[in-house]
């Protein structure tokens, strides 16, 4: 999502302003009437009085962000040919799906999830995010109005940022979500001081990163190149085209659960300029800190569909994490009151994918439907933090209708971040899948894809080799569906032969455990028992889905795609995707007797260890 409004007159005014140098200098604050904004927004004050910060932490000064959008289309899913040929009733037939990158989490089967006798005593790993889903009596504790800027006098929200001319709303929203979670759970941090780097996130989205533990994802990367040696490609030469890369939450999940960040926004990890068609690409050439120099570890990203039916789930996420990102349509016609409230609607047509990402920090069940530019079917709205600076909406905040049709086909995502003194801050992250998304276009989400197998209960796994004397404490899984249940087994030093692991020769597992999650997204599952590993030990993580679901994977390949240009017609680069299969991922054989090594793909199974 990129928020790049394409009104012709506005784009002309943007270019004129940029070329004339008016209000676009380095570090200059935008003027009250800011034609340099991509949507031509007037940024004088205004909006609803109750959007303003009321009470709370006096540190919570509202600071300042914004960027572009291409015309988006509805998301598409293409289902290909059968990918296996089962000859056993224990193996499900699967097909390979190609899904638009803005993947909407499948709703799952809630009743089956809670009524399954085998999993009756299994506590979902994300239970803290959804206490009222697990125990419906707690739903009554959800208030009619909530604001994370003032929870018992404390603010868990950092200042409003300004993404300027960048396309990085997705990075700004995720950084804001991580900040809210940190403030909610670590009182030593202050809202006026905490500032995570969006630049670091955006840079490593399209740059090779070396230094993953064991090196298994060092050859999984994407980069911007001038594949046809086009003349005058100064943005590519500057290596700053990453500033003009739109994105979605899946980019952040790939980067941040790999522990590529987050880092603090300072020094080379801070943007020098955010306005000016030349400045943003010339002033930000300094390389950020090393990819894996993270200050915190992201261990979970809870995702649920942003539809009205999931309001209670989203509210619980916000109460636990103080914020959740959501995709919206920022086209000018859907706004009202100087970007003070937003309601997108499409007359019964399928909504296009979102073109902007924002952060939900609260709600008001009684916010009147009459406040919006068009009247939604009912009252109620989310309180959101935008990334367009503090002169839009009310100090940079706005209301989003509960009935917004773009949000309804987007995901709400909340981050669980661990600081270095936390028990769940692990030393090592074993992983083989680098990127969930195959990125083709900087602007059109529907061209970028996620690859997955169709719903099944087929087993799969990953074989790792311990680098040192360590303790295996937890595993991590990616899911495209809500309400998932699995059985996980850990095997030490299994016998491998001819690219397969025979089930009968795996031996006795050192641990078998049932696990579950309410939400989709990425989750860390603590093991019931810690497993001691010696340097050189092979350990196999076998996942047996109990509830059928999709299985996302990274496809190996080396492909360079079409050219990308910014709105000033500067070449920002062709996206080169390079993904190498690790040879450590395994999938059930057609006869159900073995797991076969996958030479063309990797699964998103992580293993977390602590050094002994």
Instruction: Please enumerate in sequence order all residues whose Cβ is within 8 A of that of 176, keeping only pairs 6 or more positions apart, or say none.
Output: 157, 158, 161, 323, 325, 359, 385, 387
Distance between CA atoms of residues 325 and 199, nearest Å: 18
Cβ neighbour number for residue 528 with a 10 Å cutoff = 10
Q: In this structure, what are the phi and psi dihedrals at residue 146, rounded to the nearest 5 degrees?
A: -150, 145
Tokens of 44: 């004088």
Distance between CA atoms of residues 534 and 13, nearest Å: 64
At 302 the pLDDT is: 98
How many residues are listed for the chain in this entry? 612
To the nearest 5 percent, what fractions of the chain are helix, strand and coil?
Answer: 20, 30, 50
Give CA separation, 539 vs 424, 493, 527, in Å: 21, 6, 14
For the chain, helix (H) and strand (E) counts, in that order, are 9, 29
Name the strand (E) or helix (H) holding 542.
strand 538-545
Distance between CA atoms of residues 156 and 146, nearest Å: 12
> What is the three-class DSSP state of 281?
helix
Q: Where in the chain are the domains?
A: 87-122+200-225+431-611
> What is the three-class DSSP state of 510?
coil
**DSSP structure class, residue 109:** -
> What is the three-class DSSP state of 504?
helix
* Residue among 449, 611, 435 nearest 532 (CA): 611
Q: At CA 547, angle to CA 457 and CA 601, rounded to 5?
A: 40
Name the strand (E) or helix (H) holding 400.
strand 397-401
Structure-token match 């960048």, residue found: 166
Cβ neighbour number for residue 90 with a 10 Å cutoff = 12
At 26 the pLDDT is: 25
Distance between CA atoms of residues 6 and 3, nearest Å: 9
Q: In this structure, what are the phi and psi dihedrals at residue 241, rounded to the nearest 5 degrees?
A: -65, -20
Distance between CA atoms of residues 430 and 466, nearest Å: 9
Angle, helices 169-185/311-321, rounded to nearest 10 degrees: 60
Tokens of 545: 């889905």
Q: Are 542 and 489 in contact (CB under 8 A)?
A: yes
* Residue among 191, 193, 196 nearest 149 (CA): 191
10-residue mean pLDDT series, the chain (612 residues): 38 27 27 30 37 33 31 69 91 93 89 96 97 95 98 97 96 98 97 97 97 97 96 96 94 97 98 93 97 97 97 98 97 93 94 94 98 96 97 96 97 97 96 95 86 97 98 98 98 92 94 98 98 98 97 96 91 96 97 96 98 95
Q: Is the peptide bond before 262 cis (omega within 30 degrees of 0)?
A: yes
In sequence order, what are the beta bridge partners of 82? 95
At 71 the pLDDT is: 53
* Residue among 410, 398, 350, 407 nearest 372 (CA): 398
Q: Are 189 and 181 in contact (CB under 8 A)?
A: no
Q: pTM of the prediction? A: 0.89
Tokens of 332: 């000018």
Q: Are 412 and 324 in contact (CB under 8 A)?
A: yes
At 93 the pLDDT is: 96
Ramachandran category for residue 557: left, alpha or beta (phi over 0 → left; psi -120 to 50 → alpha): left
The count of C-alpha atoms lying within 13 angstroms of the C-alpha of 332, restricted to the half-sphere facing its C-beta, is 13
Ramachandran category for residue 347: left, alpha or beta (phi over 0 → left; psi -120 to 50 → alpha): left
Structure-token match 């200050």, residue found: 295
Angle, helices 169-185/198-205, rounded to nearest 10 degrees: 130
Cβ neighbour number for residue 96 with a 10 Å cutoff = 18
* Residue among 95, 92, 94 nearest 81 (CA): 95
The count of C-alpha atoms lying within 13 angstroms of the C-alpha of 106, restricted to the half-sphere facing its C-beta, is 17
168 CB burial (10 A radius; 0-12, 13-18, 19+): buried
At 49 the pLDDT is: 41
Distance between CA atoms of residues 556 and 581, nearest Å: 5
Distance between CA atoms of residues 431 and 605, nearest Å: 6
At 446 the pLDDT is: 78
The count of C-alpha atoms lying within 13 angstroms of the C-alpha of 476, restricted to the half-sphere facing its C-beta, is 31
Q: Are 280 and 394 in contact (CB under 8 A)?
A: no
């Amino acid at each position: 999502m990129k928020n790049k409004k394409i009104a012709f007159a506005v784009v002309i005014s943007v270019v004129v302003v940029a070329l004339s140098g008016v209000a676009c200098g380095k570090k200059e604050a935008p003027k009250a009437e800011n034609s340099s904004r991509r949507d031509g927004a007037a940024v004088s004050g205004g909006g609803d009085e109750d959007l303003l910060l009321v009470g709370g932490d006096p540190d919570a000064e509202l600071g300042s962000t914004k960027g572009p959008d291409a015309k988006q289309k509805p998301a598409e899913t293409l289902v290909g040919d059968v990918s296996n040929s089962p000859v056993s009733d224990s193996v499900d037939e699967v097909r390979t799906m190609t899904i638009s990158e803005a993947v909407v989490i499948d709703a799952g089967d809630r009743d089956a999830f809670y009524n399954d006798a085998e999993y009756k005593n299994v506590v979902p790993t994300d239970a803290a995010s959804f206490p009222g889903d697990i125990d419906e009596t707690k739903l009554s504790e959800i208030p009619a109005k909530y604001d994370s800027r003032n929870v018992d006098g404390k603010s868990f929200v950092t200042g409003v940022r300004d993404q300027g001319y960048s396309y990085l709303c997705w990075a700004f929203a995720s950084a804001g979500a991580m900040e809210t979670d940190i403030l909610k759970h670590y009182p030593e941090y202050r809202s006026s001081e905490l500032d995570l780097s969006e630049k670091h996130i955006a840079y490593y989205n399209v740059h090779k990163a070396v230094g993953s533990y064991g090196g298994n994802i060092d050859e999984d990367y994407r980069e911007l190149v001038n594949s046809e040696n086009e003349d005058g490609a100064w943005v590519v030469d500057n290596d700053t085209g990453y500033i003009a890369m739109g994105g979605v939450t899946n980019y952040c999940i790939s980067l941040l659960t790999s522990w590529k960040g987050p880092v603090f926004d300072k020094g080379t990890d801070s943007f020098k300029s955010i306005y000016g068609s030349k400045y943003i690409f010339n002033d930000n050439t300094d390389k950020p800190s090393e990819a894996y120099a993270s200050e915190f570890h992201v261990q979970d990203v809870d995702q649920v569909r942003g539809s009205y039916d999931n309001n209670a789930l989203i509210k619980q996420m916000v109460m636990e994490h103080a914020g959740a990102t959501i995709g919206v349509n920022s086209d000018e016609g859907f706004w009202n009151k100087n970007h003070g409230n937003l309601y997108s609607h499409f007359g019964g047509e399928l909504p296009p994918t979102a073109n902007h990402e924002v952060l939900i920090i609260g709600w008001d069940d009684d916010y009147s439907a009459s406040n919006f530019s068009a009247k939604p079917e009912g009252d109620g709205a989310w309180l959101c933090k935008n990334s367009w600076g503090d002169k839009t909406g009310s100090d940079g905040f706005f209301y989003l209708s509960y009935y917004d049709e773009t949000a309804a086909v987007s995901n709400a995502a909340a981050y669980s971040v661990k600081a270095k003194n936390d028990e769940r801050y692990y030393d090592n992250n074993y992983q083989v899948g680098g990127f969930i998304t195959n990125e083709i276009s900087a602007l059109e989400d529907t061209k970028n894809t996620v690859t997955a197998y169709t719903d099944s209960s087929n087993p799969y796994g990953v074989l790792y080799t311990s680098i040192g004397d360590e303790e295996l404490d937890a595993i991590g899984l990616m899911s495209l569906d809500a309400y998932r249940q699995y059985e996980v087994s850990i095997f030490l030093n299994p016998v491998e032969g001819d690219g397969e692991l025979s089930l009968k020769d795996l031996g006795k597992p050192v641990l078998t455990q049932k696990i579950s999650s309410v939400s989709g997204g990425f989750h860390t599952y603590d093991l019931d028992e810690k497993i001691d590993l010696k340097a050189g030990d092979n350990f196999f993580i076998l996942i047996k889905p109990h509830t059928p679901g999709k299985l996302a994977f990274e496809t190996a390949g080396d492909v360079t795609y079409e050219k990308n240009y910014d709105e000033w017609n500067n070449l920002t680069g062709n996206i080169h995707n390079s993904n190498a299969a690790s040879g450590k991922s395994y999938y059930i054989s057609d006869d159900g007797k073995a797991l076969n090594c996958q030479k063309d793909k990797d699964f998103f199974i992580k293993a977390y260890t602590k050094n002994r």
